[in-house]
Amino acid sequence: MDQAEATEKIVTALKKKKGKTKFYFNDLAKILGEKPRVAKKLINKMIEDEVLEYWSSGSTSLYGLKGTGKQAEAEHEE
């Protein structure tokens, strides 16, 4: 799977998930249908390209579309 195809799959799938803006790595890997090592490379490239953003609470790591969710809404208000 090339990067463009992976990005399209992730963006399409995440936009369909109403009400949910942050996802676990395993959710994204399942959408891609790739093994974790391959999925990690594709997801990291999406973060680099600012398609996805990484969020961590310290114990939990989540990913979401750039500019979505409560965090992004709070940043726009400032």
Q: Where do the H-state alpha helices sit in the chain?
A: 3-16, 25-32, 36-48, 69-77
Range of the domain at 47: 3-77
Q: pTM for the complete prediction?
A: 0.81
Within 13 Å of residue 1, how many CA atoms lie on the same side as its CB? Answer: 20
- Residue 12's domain is classified under what CATH number? 1.10.10.10
- Phi, psi (rounded to 5 degrees) for 55: -135, 135
SS3 56: strand
Q: What is the pLDDT of residues 7-52, one digit of tens each?
A: 999 999 999 988 888 999 999 999 999 999 999 999 999 999 999 9
Total structural domains in the chain? Answer: 1
